Amino acid sequence: MSKKPNAGLSRRAFLGGAGGAVAAGTLAAALGTPAAAEAQVPPPPGPWPLPVLNPDVVRDAGYFGYWTNDPYKNTNYGCAYGVAAALLASIRSGLGPGSPWDALPLEMFKWGKTGAVESGTLCGALAGAMPIFSLASPASVVEMGSDLIRWYQEAPLPSMEMDYLDPKRRYPQQAQSISESPLCHISVSSWCKASGKLSSSTDRKTRCGKITGDVAKVAAIILNRLVPGQKYVPLYPTQPELYAECVHCHVDAPPPPTPDAVRLNNSLGITNCMTCHPDAQPVMTKK
């Protein structure tokens, strides 16, 4: 993890390098060259090697990755693709050719746009980072993913770090909102209420482009926290005592059979309780 990537990774290098390995592999397979035979060798199981990433470079690449054109749909690829492409571009640049990361085709990430196949569920920016976490550290993906989701729910977004990055889309000082949820639908709706903008507006799309960059940057920071041979140290330590009064109805073992027993032991995970229980205490934001 000591090798550093090229800190000056340009948009052109990102757009070319992110898909270059995939395109070369496809051509080699079509021609039946030795490279095609090598491509048939399955990549090793994780953890896969990582360089030290420049979070600001990844952020900017994530923003531009969001706007990359999807030739199949004649629209932009969106947030999941943008985050994954940005992380992979910097990882590949830092490691050089021949790493297992070369085997990942970027098309596999396009499903995450607009909350997973446009369903408004898990924010695609988050979905784009999780597979990278899983390959970088299978043992720590839960802790790493939880850090990213926790940050996403509590941070005022979008940041203003990309206000003047794109000369085609200058929307400085955009309204910020705190989603208190990892769901695309809630995140976008919260921002639309705060900004007064429509979800179909270019303002909202630019906001999501910036959030793609923001998520990519924090994902890079989380990846940089991995130390070979050491346990990942979470940014947000687990505090189960904060949930002692509110989650027992969902996760306690069921009592002897009663008409109400079906209500118990029916949920997993800890997130913002107020999304479904407006009268609950705001546990997620307790420090």
Question: In this structure, are 64 and 138 located in the same domain?
Answer: yes
Question: In this structure, are 77 and 24 located in the same domain?
Answer: yes
Return the SS3 of 70: strand
Question: What pLDDT does residue 246 have?
Answer: 58
Question: In this structure, are 112 and 172 located in the same domain?
Answer: yes
Q: Of 220, 212, 209, 280, whose CA–CA distance to 250 is shortest?
A: 280
Mean pLDDT (whole number) for 105-111: 92
Cα 202 to Cα 52, 121, 122, 165, 197: the distances in Å are: 34, 21, 21, 16, 9
Q: Of 223, 228, 214, whose CA–CA distance to 52 is shortest?
A: 223
Mean pLDDT (whole number) for 213-224: 98
Question: Cβ distance 188 to 137 under 8 Å?
Answer: no
Question: Rounded to whole angstroms, how far apart are CA atoms 191 and 185?
Answer: 10
Domain count, the chain: 2
Residue that is last in its domain, among 200, 224, 248: 224
Cα 130 to Cα 34, 66, 109: the distances in Å are: 32, 17, 11
User: Pick the residue with more confidence: 258 or 108?
Assistant: 108
User: Pick the residue with more confidence: 125 or 247?
Assistant: 125
Confidence of residue 269 (pLDDT cuts 50, 70, 90): low
Question: In this structure, are 32 and 119 located in the same domain?
Answer: yes
Domain with 273 in it: 240-285
Question: In this structure, are 54 and 172 located in the same domain?
Answer: yes
In a domain, 268, yes or no: yes
Question: What pLDDT does residue 245 have?
Answer: 59
Return the SS3 of 261: helix
Question: Rounded to whole angstroms, how far apart are CA atoms 257 and 272?
Answer: 29
Question: In this structure, are 65 and 131 located in the same domain?
Answer: yes
- Burial (Cβ within 10 Å: 0-12, 13-18, ≥19) of residue 262: exposed
In a domain, 229, yes or no: no
Question: In this structure, are 215 and 121 located in the same domain?
Answer: yes
Question: What pLDDT does residue 45 have?
Answer: 82
Question: In this structure, are 136 and 268 located in the same domain?
Answer: no
Cα 138 to Cα 25, 129, 144, 222, 238: the distances in Å are: 26, 13, 10, 14, 19
In a domain, 147, yes or no: yes
Question: Cβ distance 204 to 190 under 8 Å?
Answer: no
Question: Rounded to whole angstroms, how far apart are CA atoms 14 and 62?
Answer: 10
Confidence of residue 270 (pLDDT cuts 50, 70, 90): low
Question: In this structure, are 34 and 129 located in the same domain?
Answer: yes
In a domain, 88, yes or no: yes
Residue 271: pLDDT over 70: no
Mean pLDDT (whole number) for 125-145: 96
In a domain, 1, yes or no: no
Mean pLDDT (whole number) for 276-285: 61
Question: What pLDDT does residue 249 have?
Answer: 59
Reported as a single tens digit per residue, the pLDDT across 223-242 is: 999 998 899 999 987 665 66
Question: Rounded to whole angstroms, how far apart are CA atoms 280 and 246?
Answer: 8
pTM of the model: 0.76
